[in-house]
Structure 1
Amino acid sequence: METIPNDHGVDTARRDLLRTTGTAVLAGLTAATIPGALSAAPRAQAAATTNVPGSLGARLQGVQHFGLTVQNMDRAFEFYTEVLGGTVVMRDGDFHGDRIHNTLLTDEDIIARERGVNPRTRGIPDLRRGTQRLDVRFVQFDNVVIELLQYRDADQPMGRGHSFAEPREQMSPAFPRSMHICFYLRDDVDFNTFIRDLETESARRGMTQVKANRVITVATEHERRAAPIEANSHRITQGRSDGWSLIYCKGPEGEQLEFVQALGPVKRTFQEALQARQRPLADR
């Protein structure tokens, strides 16, 4: 039996809120995603052609959110709100029934049926009969929203406990279909100190999975922890990426995170690309 929020009242309000959030995200992209104020005339004129009237690109209004399926909703929610400082947009959940199951899982169901395997072995929950339920929480950052999703057994409390499926062990970013969440550091932040403080605060909360890579070669976890603080970020100083700093980091769920900072020439490159994209949008 389907729950009413999937198709009526609550879901309508949710859609309205997401539209509002999407508008805020687009505004945030103008002010925050690309570093600094936009002042230089765009050199990337070709970018505007992707937004010609009637094209698919012209029908979009930016990225609304990145989604992350988690094993432990409480732990992930604490990390993204209390450690990284995101603002709670809303919590919703207990979604189940035919419509939500089909919306999310039709393709996976077909594959499992064609291969004659138990859907659960492919990580497919049974939302249709309500054996499992879906809970979601949305967290707002300056320029994008992160959606945390948890698929849990029906007898588990909403938004708590563990996922019905075991987490994937192979999380290398080199695997095709792998995704990551990238956070942008402000210009005046010391990158290396930020990474040190992130690991310290996460460890204080028992989130021992939160580990950032190092730019020097280390062979053990002890060596990684003992690396000098200046090994916490990689700064590119030549080519098109001049001024770009980055490091990869695992989050509390084992998810792949990236932290970046854009200064100097690469900052201007992103500014001009955003300005080139915004010009045809303003003309509509």
Structure 2
Amino acid sequence: MNGNDLDRRDILRAAGAAALAAPAIAALSTEAQAAKPASGMSAAQRNSAPLGARLQGIQHFGLTVQNMERAFEFYTQVLGGTEVFRHGDFQGDQVQNTLLADQEIIATELGVNPRTMGVPDLRGGAQRLDVRFVQFDNVVVELLQYRDADQPMGGPRAFAEPVEHMSPAYPRMMHICFYVGDDVDFNKFITDLEAESARRGMTQVRANRSIRVTTEQERKAAPQDANTTKVTEEPSTGWELIYCKGPEGEQLEFVKALGPVKKRFADALAARKRAAS
């Protein structure tokens, strides 16, 4: 149930008591809804509240890719996300300033051409930016590709060279974590993920194992029950995880949160909602 449902219910009750008053009540209800959202704070109160109270949550994770079509196929056809929309051919001064001003400042301070630092020229149009948004149940993944202007949208060649070191231990490296259903066979999920990705030529999609392996052959030969790491120590009891590389070399994680750790997340979410209201 949302705020609009509450408005309609209130209006219908008022109409039952005094039909002639319904239009006025509807107007007042709509005005009150705009002035005081479901959180209970007015716009003025929210704008003076702590920064966390002004957020609605994480809207999306962005991933800059080498090959847009390959990445899009993985996140929609392999993992089953739904395309929200796509937009592309972004260029111009405003786009450059919005996305890349910090890097241009550093280049100026160093006295070097921004191109030598991997900064594309969206301002002059030598490079372009394309984006596609993919919706999952609770978050959106945004795929971004910076490409030379003479390259087609969705093509396999990005403006910058791929990062050589993709270890999650490097500072600023990020990962996208997917929440797997409680009743899903986690070991089989990863087996199927690797097989489906390989069928599509995405040989980079490889999951780590919970046992030590020193070669790719050993990784492939590991028993299926070695796919999942299960945490049994507090405060993470009930946490199950698999680390996996995506088709662009991006770091992915697949998790289950069961039992005590699931309750901890639920309690934290409930506490945040109470604080926000």
TM-score by length of 1: 0.80
Q: Which amino acid aligns with 2:106?
A: I
Work out whether residues 52 and 280 of structure 1, in 8 Å CA contact, stay in contact via their aligned partners in 2: no
Question: Secondary structure of the residue that 2:61 maps to in structure 1?
Answer: strand
1:197-216 per-position Cα deviation (integer Å, ceiling 9, x unaligned): 00000000000000000110
Select 1:115's aligned residue among 101, 110, 113: 110
Distance in structure 1 (CA, Å) of the matches to 2:122 and 2:47:
40
Distance in structure 1 (CA, Å) of the matches to 2:156 and 2:274:
47
1:143-176 per-position Cα deviation (integer Å, ceiling 9, x unaligned): 0000000000001112323101111011110111
Q: Does 1:277 align with 2:276?
A: no
Larger Rg, first or second structure (1 or 2):
2
Contiguous gaps of at least 5 residues in structure 2 = 1-45
Work out whether residues 93 and 159 of structure 1, in 8 Å CA contact, stay in contact via their aligned partners in 2: no
1:52 Cα deviation from its structure 2 partner: 11
Question: Secondary structure of the residue that 2:235 maps to in structure 1?
Answer: helix
Q: Does 1:96 align with 2:91?
A: yes
Q: Does 1:213 align with 2:208?
A: yes
Q: Which amino acid aligns with 1:143?
A: N
Q: Does 1:61 align with 2:53?
A: no
Cross-structure match for 2:221: 226
After TM superposition, the structure 1 = structure 2 runs for residues 2-13 of structure 1, keeping only pairs within 5 Å, are none
Select 1:265's aligned residue among 252, 256, 260: 260
Distance in structure 1 (CA, Å) of the matches to 2:155 and 2:221:
35
1:9-65 per-position Cα deviation (integer Å, ceiling 9, x unaligned): xxxxxxxxxxxxxxxxxxxxxxxxxxxxxxxxxxxxxxxxxx996100011010000
Select 1:129's aligned residue among 103, 124, 130: 124
Q: Which amino acid aligns with 2:242?
A: I
Q: Which amino acid aligns with 1:237?
A: T
Cross-structure match for 2:75: 80
Work out whether residues 76 and 253 of structure 1, in 8 Å CA contact, stay in contact via their aligned partners in 2: yes
Cross-structure match for 1:3: none
The RMSD of aligned alpha carbons is 1.3
1:142 Cα deviation from its structure 2 partner: 0.3
Distance in structure 1 (CA, Å) of the matches to 2:111 and 2:256:
48
Select 1:168's aligned residue among 163, 170, 186: 163
Select 1:252's aligned residue among 241, 247, 250: 247
After TM superposition, the structure 1 = structure 2 runs for residues 154-193 of structure 1, keeping only pairs within 5 Å, are 154-193=149-188
Cross-structure match for 1:17: none
Cross-structure match for 2:133: 138
Number of matched pairs? 232
Q: Which amino acid aligns with 2:80?
A: G
1:60-97 per-position Cα deviation (integer Å, ceiling 9, x unaligned): 01000000000000000000000000000001010000
Distance in structure 1 (CA, Å) of the matches to 2:163 and 2:60:
22
Q: Which has the higher contact order (CA 8 A, sep 6+)?
A: 1
Distance in structure 2 (CA, Å) of the matches to 1:137 and 1:151:
12
Distance in structure 2 (CA, Å) of the matches to 1:81 and 1:200:
16
Distance in structure 2 (CA, Å) of the matches to 1:52 and 1:264:
38
Distance in structure 2 (CA, Å) of the matches to 1:257 and 1:273:
24
Question: Secondary structure of the residue that 1:88 maps to in structure 2?
Answer: strand
